[in-house]
Structure 1
Amino acid sequence: MNRLHGRDHELRRAAEVLAGTRRSGGTGLLTVEGAPGIGKSTFLRAVAALARQQGYRVGSGSAEESSRMLPLTTLLSALRSGPEPLLSEGDFAELGGLYDRQPWLVERLADALAVPAAHGPVLVLLDDVQWSDQLSVVALRVVLGRLARQPVCWVLAGRPDPGGALDRVAGAARHLVTVSRLTLGPLDADAVEGLAREELGGEPDPALRRLLARAGGHPLLVSSLLAGWRPGPGGTDPAPAAAGAALPHQLILAVRHQLSTLPPGAVELLRTGSVLGRRFTLADVSEVTRQPAARLMAPLEEAVRAGLLHEDGDGVAFRHDLVRQAVHDDLPVSLRAAVHRDIAAVMTRQRRPAAHVAPHVLGQWPRSGAVAATPEERRAAADVLRAAAGEIARATPAAAADLLQRALDLLPPDSPERLDVGLEALTAAAAGLQVEAAAELGRTLLRGTTTAGDAARVWWHLARPLRALSADEELQRGTAQALAALPPGDDAASAPARLRLRAVHAQASSRGPDGAAAAEEARGVLQDALRLEDTAAAEAALVALAEAAAWQGRHHEALVPAREARLRHGGPPRSAEIAALTGLERYDEARALLAEAAEVHRSDAWETLPEHAWRRALLELYAGRTSLAQVEAEHLLRLGEDFEEFALYRAEAHCVLARIVGTRGDTATGRRHVEAARALLAPRNVWQRLTLHVVDGRLAEGAGDDRAAVAAFSRALDLRREHALLGAGPDYDSAPQIVRVALRAGAPALAEDAAANAAGYAERNPGVPGIQGIALHARALVDGDVDRLGEAVRVLATGPRVPVHSVAAGDLAALLAVARRRAEAVEAWRRASAALAAWGASTVIVDPRALALRPRDGRAEPAGGTRPVSGWGALTGAERRVAERAGRGGTNRSIAEELGVSPHTVSTHLRAVFGKLGINSRVQLAHVVATRPDAGELTRSRP
């Protein structure tokens, strides 16, 4: 088929998408669905030709069923295609070091594709998307959004597959870019007639016309009829227009007919090739069939003459993958499995990567149906799948977990390797943040264990996913039972297992009311682990010590073991150390550790990405850098949308955003975030519920609903009491607000409880200005003590927590006014309002009585004013600093290093800059920056 027939309407739609992308300068997405052989590939070639006429640079590729396990192969087939690929050699080489860090890989891919897009429109075409590898689908979903303001048009084609790759990509993109969807149906009679005239070079005779009419408008079937195939006496049944992956019955008959006319050598060549893949080499067929390559030349010529194969570079390929599939599916199952087995054996002898061999191993062992095989054959197959999982685990741990599960299914029930394979699958699932799947697999493994030692191994690996799910009670109970099942403590053989179980039990107990006992247990484990030189158990014991102290709200005590774990055992900074530094208000040290943890060269950084984004958001919120806190929280939400594995901490992100907008007086938006957080609460996570109650109360106070605020704050304190929670929480930070609203609403007991809790927290953390000042502030409000509140303001001024200092200053102004110390009150309010404006807060968060002190002589209060919604004046200070440096040629990484923020923060700011300035590229940004009156100066202060 050389020319497109019967697709004028669809081609016009595609032309509109191309024109729209050029006109708007923003991304467009066109999905093309259709049954197998309906003409999707031909349609894509026509779209590519049309795009080139319009000045597009084009990259085209396709997915192959045999390459689904090879990360990013689908997308790279398009980006590296042609004499001038869209992705340069240098960019391609740089991606090689990022395969095990998906977020950074995708960001770098987007940056690289933005380079050609800055010089003109770009078209990326991908065919057979239903067979895309997992990483390519993830990259497509994310890159589409990242390049939403770049002139990049994406055309993706595939078979109907509800919930499959096409739907997932289009669903993720629909809120960010213009999405158009096409479905290719059967050709009409005129199109079939035109196709017949083109292929025959003349008019079809009446008999052929009658046959063509019965082909159901299926282009590939029409071509088969024109090539000489004729149906048998039973006639034909029209090809269903909406068929999914199923092949039209007539096509199978057509291919079967063509095979029947070929010599046996050509048939064997085609059958072997159909199992190898759409494209293959004669050398591979020679190896598999044990024939000299020279003997394959005649069969190849026959297959080419029959129109089933064509030459493709240094190999050969089926003229359409549907033809390959028809040959493949027509093979008897036993013969197909035998060919897969022979191919796997050849590839293994050739030392091909196991990930290339694995599809042929899986081809021998379909998921459904029993396959007769010896235990040795099953073990050998499982070994290949384990090796393949090891090759892809860092890039796509979830896919590795699937392979390991298949390996586990293959092993005989009595195989001694079953536990090892199961634990490898559990570890891969946990590494891919599929914690629920990992936990369920661990429970299944436990049910199959026969010895106490095996159960101990499973509990050790189960600790990570169960703790991520806050299933501490299950972990504590299970490890206690496993310890009881082990031989006595003086048994040397079981000593290592006992030690690790004790370490996990200490970790499980550290986050609860038995913190002191957990710490004592952890100290014993640490001592024994150092003696036995078990570094993993020693590290677990140190983490348990740090978490036990943190749960008791003792940040000084938490920092020591957390830091020792990092210094003694290496690896990335632990969250426990970052949390302790944040609690101690040593924000610069915490920022440095977060930056170290996020370094691109750290292959383990992506696993902690969601939690660290949340901790950055909290830190910046405490410091009053609310624009950065908002960026981090929004980034965390976007991570959950872009990467299914990163759906953790979304409830926390919404709570941070609710607090930020609440301080600005936007209670309606805050409420929406609260409801979103409520829908995402984890069943066992007490801290999420406590945080939500506090945020609920603060928003209610901002809206003037003291009764609702008291109810929410009471729920928070009741929860703390019920679970004996002593660790850091938003109710401690909000103690002055709780006291204030409780006193107004006639709830003195609530006020007293909040002040007492803050005082106890301060006693456990001496020398921390914010914690001490908040406690003084809360007690001063309970007692109406102006002097104590003045002391609180002075203490808070020595620390980095700008928000709590400004609130205390505002409350001081109110108390001074009540005490009729007007001059002092006015001066205090002047300072308080300036402090509030400095971090963008509204006066709704301070005592309303202070508002009467506002100037009445027409002078403006120090405030940021209303920022325009577009143009340079719409940029925040942080956005302006990033824009200036990017406009002068800075990369995301260099800007991040100069400003002391993360590269993804820079990326987020740039997207906001592009939107507010109405531009699409760094080239345009450079022009904007260069033409500004202050173009010679850079804003120096940090965001």
Structure 2
Amino acid sequence: MAIERTRDEGAGPAQGRPGENGDRPPHRRGLGTRELEAELAHVTARISRLPEGCGGVLLVEGPPGAGKSRLAREARAFAETLPIRVLGGKGDRHRNVPFGAFLRTPASHGRPVIDAGLLRTLSESAEQRFWLLRAVQGQLEQATLHGPLLVVIDDLQWCGTENLHALRLLAARPSSGAILWLVTVRTGTPDADLRATVTALVDAGARTVRLGRPPDPVTPSGSAWHPFGRLTPLAREVLRLAAVLGPEPEAGRLADLGGHPLGEVVTALQEAVDVGLVRPTDPLTFRHDGEREAIRDTVPVPLRRTLLSRAAELSLAQGAPIGQVALAVAEAAEPGDCEAAALLRRAVTELAEIAPDAAVPIARRAVALAPAGSAERAAAVADALPLLARIGRGGEGRMLAETVLSGPLPATVEARVRLGAAMSALQGSYAEALPHGRAGAALDGAPDGVRAPLMASWCLAALLTGDVPAAERLLPAAGEIASRSGSDAALALVRTTGSMLRAAGLDFASAERLAAEAVATVPAPSTLFVPAVWLASLHGMTGRVQKGLREATEGVAAARRPGHAEGLPLWLAARARLLLAAGRPAEARADAEAALSVAKESGAGEAVSRAALSVIGRVGALTGAPDASERSEEVHGDGTARASAAWSAWPAAPAGLAAAEDDPASVRTALAGGRTALAVATVAEAERRAARNPGVPFFAAMAAHARGLLADDAEAVRRAARILRGVGCPLPLASALEDAGRLLLDSDRDAAVDHLIEAGDVYRRAGAENEVARVRRSLLAVGHRRRASRPSRPRAARGWDALTPAERRVAALVAGGATNRQAAERLFLSPATIGTHVMHIFKKLGVNSRAALARAYHERDDTAA
């Protein structure tokens, strides 16, 4: 039996039916336009300023029925009367499609704004998600070339984890175009992801519009004239049951649960269609979510839970996967329901590998349902910890662990909780990993399979936080229990610790062998990233930069795959450091800024932040970028690129491990400060490192450079430069050439000038404008002038003269209409690097959109002509 359409969708009420000729008061439709007059005036005033380039975020908050959706519709209608393109998306509580709020965003004025294929890729493939969202942002900003853009996201509380993450990245990030985000959200929603999103939007400058509670609505049961009151008793019963189960009444399911013949249920649903409470769509849907909630509210809460529980049992009996039933169970269960919590934990286990994002809210609910202070709740937390870490929410997981560790727990459960917290913290929060590993390893009764990785994490965390003696003392016992238990993760951590200790002892050949063994030992699939990050970093430290960079690029790609997000900040920070060593500072800065952004989102700790800020500071000192130099001071306190030996912060390396590339800078700084003994000790250490690693030319070059500076020996520094020409480390090469030129000035002026010119050329190719300027000053001091190398005035902080050569190339392409991706393809750079250049260009030129940049560029051309 089919449900027939009795009147056109969207048409006015049918004639002759009671209560449908305009005399029916709106039920649960919230406040009318008149009651929202002040709020609507505020919103429309903000939209009116959008063509002037005044974008940003408007956050509309209010309880159910307060008029949020109505305000969003009115705002959209107003915007469409202006030269503004509008995108509209809406969260769906019962159909959480990844990126669905963006997939369902038709654009006004005919032209699509976001490429549908790109959004499909976003929803299907997590491995490219971070960069694809950057591409979406680029498309949004490209759209502003054709006029301002209003993006409306309604019912944020139903948008799901992926949509919330996308909104945090897209709306909270400063936009280079005229884009206004209008986001509505229900107040009082407890979801942690939602709270984090709202906080991120407010922190980024969102203006908040708060709607009050609407007048008391008319309830269906108390109104004879309301359509619900005109239904037969059976139809009312069926509709109540349907309202409890969800927004799409399904006749067969309602018949099974209600115990009524299918024909009677179909007739009842036809009644609901006839009075306008249900849309005759396929599938059927309630006409308004507010009306469905009002009907649902007439069902007592205990009965509601019973119905949902029966629906879940029926679905399971019919063979539905437990993951599909879990949300209904979560809604039906009450806190303290151990049976429901256990079922949800089974669902988490089933979903963890195939859909970790979908498993997270179920895991959170399982924690909430288990009795507070119980071993069951701690066990649910232990289940949730690795899952939260895998989707990049390790910080949230570790905070959750603290809530269950304050009281006594069975040793097996506490060990699992501490292991999850320790393994999560090893992705960059080493100081947090240390106490969890130590306390977990000391638990009596913990099985060896759990104790072994706890012991190994304790040992590694001790080393990473600078306690070398403790790591050396713990390593034999950690290795013994790892071998006995057969835990591959523990063995990988033990071998990584051993490798780092060998590197600290200057035995880099053994360090590399053990690191490679550790990586080979990591179980697959695994979210244990530290061994591979350390190996790539080790290659960078020994001058094998290209090899390390390839590994880091593969690591970043691996961390983008579903369930591996926790490793992304660590890998991005490592790749940023390697890009800097490869003489690609602009790309290094882009990766470092991405690492900071992702680390803030995931809760990754101090190791990632320190490494990323070090790269940004070094880039600022090399290139003269004022904003980067300011961030440099956060870490180093000054902006001298050649003076600091603290630049080489690697994200997964023992605290205090000296990097060979810093030796010349350390000697130079010590000598400048009159600390000759420190300079002598640094040179001795460099020569000892080179002697113990004869197969590492980079170490020989650094030792020769350091010795040459100490002894004013130009030939030693020239020898370093000759070695470095074959190594592929541009900045150390340029530094050696510069020092050789300076030392040769008194004995061989022509050779000195040649070395300085070559140093300047190498610096220039790397974009190290500050270093180029210093070399030019040295050449001028000896009376050398060359038109191609003539010194220019110091770069201005603002205006066209403030742009670097790379930024000028990007500005020309963007002003010509190129997207970030198109400019990246033309210049053989990454879209993220182009995005960083664009933001710097806007800041230096004082513009806030691509259209404004295009105008400024063409006006400059006209003036020049």
Scaled to the shorter chain, the TM-score interval is: 0.7 to 0.9
Aligned letter for 1:402? R
Q: Alignment partner of 1:251: what SS?
A: coil
> Given the alignment of the two structures, is residue 579 of structure 1 paired with residue 537 of structure 2, yes or no?
yes
**2:734 is equivalent to residue 806 of structure 1:** yes
- Which of 592, 602, 609 is the matching residue for 2:568? 609
Code of the residue aligned with 2:574 in structure 1: it is: R
Give the aligned partner of residue 256 of structure 2: 287
Selected match of 1:739 from 667, 679, 687: 667
CA displacement at 1:162 relative to structure 2: 10
Q: Assess if the C-alpha contact under 8 Å between 2:391 and 2:564 holds in 1.
A: no
Q: Deviation digits for residues 638-674 of structure 1, max 9, x if unmatched?
A: 3345666699722322222222223456789635443
Deviations 1:464-494 (Å, cap 9, x if unpaired)? 1243421464356446535x867xxxxxxx7
Tell me which of 416, 430, 435 is aligned to 2:389.
Answer: 430
| Pairing 1:516-531 to 2, within 5 Å after superposition | none
Does the 8 A contact of 1:670 with 1:699 survive in 2? no
* Offset at residue 582 of structure 1 (A): 0.7
The counterpart of 1:780, out of the listed 703, 708, 718, is 708
Secondary structure at the aligned position of 1:45 is classed as helix
- Higher mean displacement: 752-761 or 912-921: 912-921
Q: Take 1:879 and 1:574, find their aligned partners in 2: how far apart are those partners?
A: 37
CA distance in 1, matches of 2:441, 2:352: 33
Per-residue deviation, 1:401: 4.4
Which residue identity is paired with 1:44?
A: A
> AA paired with 1:148?
S
User: Deviation string for 1:595-630 (max 9, x for gaps)?
Assistant: 222337844563322122212221222233222222
| Partner Cα separation in structure 2 for residue 155 and residue 769 of structure 1 | 58
Distance in 1 of aligned mates of 2:661 and 2:751: 26
Q: Indicate which of 262, 265, 274 corresponds to 2:243.
A: 274
Give the aligned partner of residue 632 of structure 1: 591
Deviation per CA, 1:9-55, whole angstroms, max 9, x where unpaired?
Answer: 6555555555544564x855443344433333333333333444446
Residues 77 and 870 (structure 1 numbering): CA distance in 2 closer, same or farther, change over 3 Å? same
Match of 2:90 among 55, 62, 75: 62
> Paired residue for 2:500?
547
For structure 2, which runs of at least 5 residues remain unmatched after alignment?
A: 1-25
Check whether the contact 2:720–2:736 (CA below 8 A) recurs between aligned residues.
yes
Pairing partner for 1:402 from 364, 367, 371: 364
Query: In 2, Cα distance between the equivalents of 1:182 and 1:496?
Result: 53
Instruction: Give the aligned residue type for 2:342.
Output: R
Query: What is the CA–CA distance in structure 2 between the aligned matches of 1:118 and 1:312, rounded to whole Å?
Result: 41
Q: How many residues align?
A: 811
Say whether residues 1:42 and 2:4 are aligned partners: no
- Structure 2 Cα separation of the partners of residues 697 and 88 of structure 1: 45
Q: Secondary structure at the match of 1:157?
A: strand
1:555 Cα deviation from its structure 2 partner: 3.5
Provide the secondary structure at the position in 2 that maps to 1:649.
Answer: helix
In 1: Cα distance, 2:34 partner to 2:484 partner? 77
Q: 1:657 maps to which residue?
A: 616
Q: 1:474 aligns with which of 395, 420, 435?
A: 435
- 1:125 aligned to 2:80? no
Question: Amino acid of the residue matched to residue 429 of structure 2?
Answer: L
Between stretches 154-163 and 131-140, larger displacement belongs to 154-163
Counterparts of residues 93-172 of structure 1 (less than 5 Å) = 93-99=120-126, 102-104=129-131, 106-107=133-134, 109-110=136-137, 123-144=150-171, 148-149=175-176, 152-160=179-187, 172=200
Q: 1:561 aligns with which of 510, 514, 521?
A: 514
1:348-363 paired onto structure 2 within 5 Å: 348-349=316-317, 351-352=319-320, 354=322, 356-363=324-331
1-structure distance, mates of 2:773, 2:409: 57
What amino acid sits opposite 1:548 in the alignment? L
Question: What's 1:880 paired with?
Answer: 809
Q: Which one is further off, 756-765 or 494-503?
A: 494-503
Offset of residue 820 of structure 1: 6.6
**CA spacing shift, 1:641–1:80, aligned 2, 3 Å:** farther
Contact 2:459-2:478 at 8 Å conserved across structures: yes
Give how far 1:300 is off.
Answer: 4.7
Pairing partner for 1:727 from 640, 647, 657: 657
Contact 1:279 1:315 in 2 (8 A): yes
Partner residue, 1:383: 346
Asked whether the equivalents of residues 578 and 590 of structure 1 are also in contact (C-alpha less than 8 Å), the reply is yes
Specify the code of the residue in structure 1 equivalent to 2:546: D
Distance across 2 between alignment mates of 1:438 and 1:829: 54
Asked whether the equivalents of residues 536 and 552 of structure 2 are also in contact (C-alpha less than 8 Å), the reply is yes
Counterpart for residue 313 of structure 2: 345
CA separation of 1:889/1:667 partners in 2, compared to 1, >3 Å: closer, same or farther?
closer
CA contact (8 A) 2:499 2:511 kept: yes
Query: Retained in 2: the 8 A contact 1:389–1:400?
Result: no
What does the per-residue CA deviation read over 1:550-600, in whole Å, with 9 as the maximum and x for residues that have no partner?
444544323223334445666689112211111121122122222222337
> Alpha-carbon deviation of 1:101?
5.8
What pairs with 1:395-544 in structure 2 (closer than 5 Å)?
395=357, 399=361, 401-406=363-368, 408-409=370-371, 421-439=380-398, 444=404, 450=410, 461-467=420-426, 468-471=428-431, 473-474=434-435, 477-478=438-439, 481-482=442-443, 503-504=456-457, 507-508=460-461, 511=464, 512-514=467-469, 535-544=488-497
What TM-score does the superposition give when structure 1 sets the normalisation length?
Answer: 0.71
Deviation at 1:109, TM superposition (A): 4.3
Conserved? CA contact 2:257–2:310, under 8 Å: yes
1:251 aligns with 2:279: no
1:313 corresponds to = 281
Q: Distance in 1 between matches of 2:50 and 2:185?
A: 22
CA deviations 1:434-489 (Å, max 9, x no partner) are 444544666747976546x666666654541243421464356446535x867xxx
Q: 1:260 to 1:857 in 2, by over 3 A?
A: closer
TM-superposed CA distance for 1:257, in Å, is: 4.5
Give the alignment's Cα RMSD to 1 decimal: 5.3
CA distance in 2, matches of 1:716, 1:59: 45
What residue number does 1:855 align with? Answer: 783
- Cα offsets for 1:75-106 (capped at 9, x unmatched): 44445999998666644542332246642453
CA distance in 2 between partners of 1:29 and 1:620 (Å): 34
Give the alignment partner of residue 904 of structure 1, picking from 832, 856, 863. Answer: 832
Report if aligned partners of 2:566, 2:602 keep a CA contact under 8 Å in 1: no
2:393–2:601 contact (8 Å) kept in structure 1? no
Deviations 1:164-193 (A, max 9, x none): 98986676568989x665455xxxxxxxxx
Structure 1 residues 777, 700: closer, same or farther in 2, change over 3 A?
Answer: closer
Cα distance change on mapping 1:459 and 1:634 into 2, 3 Å? closer
Partner in structure 2 of residue 750 of structure 1: 678
Q: Write the deviation string for residues 824-854 of structure 1: whole angstroms up to 9, x where unpaired.
A: 5555544444444444243599799968834
- State the one-letter code of the partner of 1:383: R
Aligned partner letter, 2:333 = W
Unaligned runs of 5+ in 1: 185-241, 487-493, 676-691, 703-708, 934-943
The answer for the alignment partner of 2:296 in structure 1 is 328
What CA distance in whole angstroms lies between the structure 2 residues aligned with 1:698 and 1:149? 28
Distance in 1, matches of 2:800 and 2:776, equals 35
Q: Distance in 2 between matches of 1:883 and 1:594?
A: 31
Partners of 2:836 and 2:267 in 1: how far apart?
60
Matched, 1:696 2:637: yes
Q: Which residue of 2 aligns with 1:595?
A: 553
* Whole-angstrom CA distance in 2 between matches of 1:39 and 1:358: 31
Of all paired residues, the percent bearing the same amino acid is 23
Decide whether the 8 Å contact of 1:617 with 1:633 is kept in 2.
yes
Distance (Å, rounded) in 1 between the aligned partners of 2:765 and 2:111: 51
